[in-house]
Amino acid sequence: MHEETRTAEIRPDRPADGPHSPAGAGAVLFAERLSPSPGVWVVAAMLAGLTILVFAPIDVWLGVAAAIGFFVVEAIVLITSTPRIVVTDSSLQVGRAQIERRHVGEVTGHRGESARAQQGPLLHGWAYVTVRGWIAPVVRVQITDARDRTPYWLTSTRRPEELVAALGGRMADEAA
């Protein structure tokens, strides 16, 4: 694990969204929550339903209550761990990390095979990664701060064209 830097500052004392976010924000140019897809919620419901099987030999209604409780816990975890991407005039925030826009270099959006390659064989070990398996497209944001050992950020997004446009980048060729 690499050390935190001043530019990719993670601030647990500040909520990922709300009245204090992003710090020193100007006009919001882009905002997106990486919320779980409907398929993730179906899987969560199915897992919760399996708890009925565990408790059915004891009491079916205990199993139903356990399933409801388990689903509530799953929902809380899924909702509270949902990162947010916010681009303002002066900063970029991805999840709990934030960087000033002056330290943002080349920005490239990826879809399809290009996105898969960015998340696998081309992924740098020191990159800051906020990837959600249920969101295929990714955007790679180069970090230009010489004091920051993080070479780039890689984040999932459902709207890569909009995020890339907000950061002044480009979409990669599909063949790349």
Residues 114 and 156 in one domain: yes
Q: How many structural domains compose the chain?
A: 2
Strands 104-110 and 138-143 turn out to be antiparallel
pTM of this prediction? 0.77
Q: Examine residue 10 and state whether it is found in any structural domain, yes or no.
A: no
Contact predicate 111/136, CB 8 Å:
yes
C-alpha to C-alpha distance for 36 and 44, rounded to whole angstroms: 10
Residue 143 reports pLDDT greater than 80: yes
Residues 74 and 89 in one domain: no
| Residue range(s) defining the domain that contains residue 76 | 38-80
Can you tell me the distance from the alpha carbon of 66 to that of 69, in angstroms, rounded to the nearest whole number? 5
25: pLDDT confidence band, cut at 50, 70 and 90?
low
Instruction: Please check whether residue 118 is in contact with residue 110, taking contact to mean a CB–CB distance below 8 angstroms.
Output: yes
Are 154 and 140 in contact by the 8 Å Cβ rule? The answer is yes
Do residues 74 and 98 share a domain? Answer: no
Instruction: Say which CATH number the domain at 123 has.
Output: 2.30.29
- What pLDDT band is residue 142 in, cutting at 50, 70 and 90? very high
86-134 pLDDT tens trace: 999 999 999 999 999 999 999 999 999 999 999 999 999 999 999 999 9
- Report the alpha-carbon distance of residue 59 to residue 101 in Å, rounded: 57
